[in-house]
């Protein structure tokens, strides 16, 4: 908790510096306040004394007359300070002896004498080492052409010493209390801050150790809360990236395992049959022709696998080439229905096609070859899982956003745990043992449909078959037959 104590010491040091400045500056401020509060009062009283002397009624009298006049007229005068009547040379002719003893015959300090002819006030040393607030009011001659002297009213500042001492005492006491409070407050604030920072440090260490699910509680709206929120966002991003990396590694392993298996089987068959033909194990005739047909079939299977891999690579690198054409979807489906029915019946399944007649007027802007590949993959997948005696149904309907095509089978269905991943490349699910194929068909279906701006989905339950569907947006403008539609090439990746 060094940071907590450091904050407390910093607060206390700041307060101590402020207290020191106050200890030095407060007495000066108090002195200035006293001068400006008392000076005008003393100056007014000095002018009042000058008026009471009324020397204008006794023209021609010498300066020594001031003492007698002051003694008579100012004997009952009440003034806040000591009153002096001085001649032009600064010699004191009379004083009220309110605050001091008899000062007659004393001479004022030069800085006080210099102000005899000009009224004003300030801090002066009237007596040696006795600073005072001094107000001077000149006594004009009867003719008004000079001065007979001045009335000086002063009040010593020795009472300010007590004020200074009292201020110092309060400042020292207040500083001590403030420093103690600052230490406590600084430690409390610092302790809470350190605890929050320590929590972030611990979470970072846990994240570095592999606990990617570690998160922080975000409390408040200060900078530390922002740091915690940023940490949580970073942790979520790291967790997502690591999960994506793990999926990629799993996909790569699955890809290598699948490709090696899918390549090994036909290669083994081709090699075995070829060696049998080469070595004369199979006599010329029907058996040799059958072996040659199996070699061709396995070679075609290898070709399809290579084509799928090449197409998947094009999709993932954004180099898929689409030859778009505008055509009416109803007639196009009718043309494809014959080939699709033959594919299903070849696997021993039954076939049903339901094509909405209204689709004759619905146009698509798509690549007919790629769209035929989508239908072929879905129907072949359905026929394979429906099996001999099963049933495959093609349903095409018009929907508000375009065209919806569904391929359903009555096969064993898909395990619920496999449904979210059936469109992933190389994923064959829990039924992979009895399924031939590299697991690329459905991933290519999804990529091709999305490249056309559509969407794809699946609904299934164990024992109730599966329904794969896709929706494509309709094209604006008139539709034409697919065979005569002008095409344009676009890049379908991205």
Residue ranges of domains in the chain, CATH in brackets: 2-164 (3.30.450.20), 223-313 (1.10.287.130), 318-491 (3.30.565.10)
Task: Tell me if 321 sits within 8 A of 351, measured CB to CB.
Answer: no
Residue closest to 153 by CA, chosen among 36, 30, 50: 50
Q: pTM (2 decimals)?
A: 0.47
Residues 6+ apart with CB under 8 A from 104: 67, 92, 93, 94, 95
- Encoding tokens for residue 93? 């002719």
Q: Assign 321 to helix, strand or coil.
A: strand
DSSP-assigned states of every residue in 245-307:
HHHHHHHHHHHHHHHHHHHHHHHHHHHHHHHHHHTT-SPTTHHHHHHHHHHHHHHHHHHHHHH
C-alpha 438/C-alpha 343 separation (Å) is 19
Which among 86, 122, 125, 124 has a CA at the least distance from the CA of 107?
86
Phi, psi dihedral angles at 322 (to 5 degrees): -105, 130
Note the pLDDT of residue 269: 72
Q: CA nearest 482: which of 327, 315, 350?
A: 327
**Using an 8 Å Cβ cutoff, are 137 and 151 in contact?**
yes
Contact between residue 326 and residue 475 where contact means Cβ atoms under 8 Å apart: yes
Instruction: DSSP letter for 237, please.
Output: H
pLDDT of 484 reads 43
Q: Which of 244, 307, 255 is nearest to 428 (CA)?
A: 255
Residue 298 exposure: Cα atoms within 13 Å on the Cβ side: 19
Report the pLDDT value the prediction gives residue 486, as an integer from 0 to 100.
Answer: 47
Q: Which residues pair with 471 in a beta bridge?
A: 404, 455
d(CA 8, CA 6): 5
DSSP 175-222: HHHHHHHHHHHHHHHHHHHHHHHHHHHHHHHHHHTT-TT------SSS
Token pair listed for 285? 């005739």
pLDDT value, residue 392 = 93
CA 263 from centroid of its chain's CA atoms = 51
Residue pLDDT tens, the chain, 494 long:
465 566 667 767 777 777 777 666 666 777 777 777 788 888 888 888 877 776 554 455 555 555 666 654 555 566 667 888 888 888 888 887 776 777 778 887 776 666 555 678 877 777 666 778 888 888 887 766 777 788 888 887 776 666 667 766 776 777 777 767 766 776 676 667 777 777 878 888 888 888 878 888 787 777 778 888 888 888 888 888 888 888 777 767 766 666 665 566 667 777 777 777 777 766 677 777 777 777 777 777 677 667 767 766 766 666 677 788 899 999 999 988 888 898 889 889 999 999 999 888 888 888 888 898 889 889 988 998 888 999 999 999 999 888 999 999 998 888 888 888 888 776 666 555 455 555 677 888 888 898 888 999 999 888 888 999 999 998 764 444 544 444 444 555 54
CA 410, CA 385: separation in Å to the nearest integer?
Answer: 8
CA 10 centroid distance within chain:
30
Contact at 8 Å (CB) between 187 and 13?
Answer: no
Residues near 338 by Cβ (< 8 Å), separated by ≥ 6?
none
Q: For residue 95, what are the β-bridge partners? A: 84
DSSP letters of 72-141?
HHSTT---SSEEEEE-TT-BEEEE--SSSS--TT-B--HHHHTTTTS-EEEEEEEETTEEEEEEEEEEE-
Long-range contact pairs involving 230-238 (C-beta distance under 8 Å, separation at least 24) = 231/200, 231/203, 231/204, 235/203, 235/207, 238/207, 238/212
């Amino acid at each position: 908790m060094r940071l907590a104590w450091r904050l407390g010491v910093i607060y206390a040091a700041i307060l101590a510096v402020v207290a020191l400045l106050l200890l030095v500056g407060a007495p000066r401020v108090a002195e200035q306040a006293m001068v400006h509060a008392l000076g005008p009062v003393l100056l007014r009283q000095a002018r009042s004394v000058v008026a009471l002397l009324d020397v204008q009624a006794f023209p021609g009298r010498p300066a020594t007359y001031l003492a007698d006049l002051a003694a008579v007229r100012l004997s009952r005068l009440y003034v806040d300070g000591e009153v002096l009547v001085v001649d032009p040379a600064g010699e004191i002719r009379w004083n009220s002896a309110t605050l001091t003893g008899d000062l007659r015959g004393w001479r004022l300090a030069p800085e006080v004498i210099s102000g005899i002819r000009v009224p004003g006030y300030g801090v002066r040393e009237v007596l040696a080492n006795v600073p005072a607030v001094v107000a001077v009011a000149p006594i004009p001659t009867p003719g008004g052409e000079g001065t007979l002297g001045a009335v000086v009213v002063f009040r010593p500042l020795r009472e300010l010493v007590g004020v200074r001492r009292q201020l110092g005492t309060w400042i020292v006491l207040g500083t001590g209390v403030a420093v103690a409070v600052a230490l406590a407050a600084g430690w409390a604030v610092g302790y809470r801050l350190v605890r929050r920072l320590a929590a972030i440090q611990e979470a970072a260490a846990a994240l570095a150790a592999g606990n990617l699910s570690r998160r922080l509680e975000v409390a408040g709206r200060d900078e530390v809360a922002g740091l915690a929120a940023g940490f949580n966002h970073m942790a979520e991003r790291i967790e997502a990236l690591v999960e994506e990396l793990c999926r990629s590694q799993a996909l790569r392993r699955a890809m290598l395992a699948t490709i090696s298996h899918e390549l090994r089987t036909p290669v083994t068959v081709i090699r075995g049959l070829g060696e049998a033909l080469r070595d004369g194990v199979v006599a010329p005739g029907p058996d040799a022709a059958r072996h040659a047909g199996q070699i061709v079939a396995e070679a075609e299977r290898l070709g399809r696998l290579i084509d799928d891999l090449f197409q998947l690579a094009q999709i993932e690198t954004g180099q898929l080439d689409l030859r778009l054409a505008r055509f009416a979807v109803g007639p196009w489906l009718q043309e494809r229905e014959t080939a699709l029915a033959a594919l299903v019946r070849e696997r021993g399944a039954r076939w049903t096609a339901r094509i909405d007649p209204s689709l004759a007027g619905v146009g698509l802007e798509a690549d007919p070859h790629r769209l035929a590949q989508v239908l072929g993959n879905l129907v072949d997948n359905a026929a394979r899982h429906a099996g001999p005696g099963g049933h495959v149904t093609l349903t095409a309907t018009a929907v508000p956003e375009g065209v919806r095509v569904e391929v359903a089978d009555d096969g064993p269905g898909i395990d619920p745990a496999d449904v979210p991943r059936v469109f992933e490349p190389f994923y064959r699910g829990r039924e992979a043992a009895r399924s031939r194929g590299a697991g690329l068909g459905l991933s290519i279906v999804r990529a091709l449909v999305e490249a056309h701006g559509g969407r794809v989905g699946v609904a299934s339950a164990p024992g109730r078959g599966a329904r794969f569907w896709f929706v494509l947006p309709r094209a604006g403008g008139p539709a034409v037959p697919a065979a005569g539609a002008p095409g344009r090439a676009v890049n379908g990746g991205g």
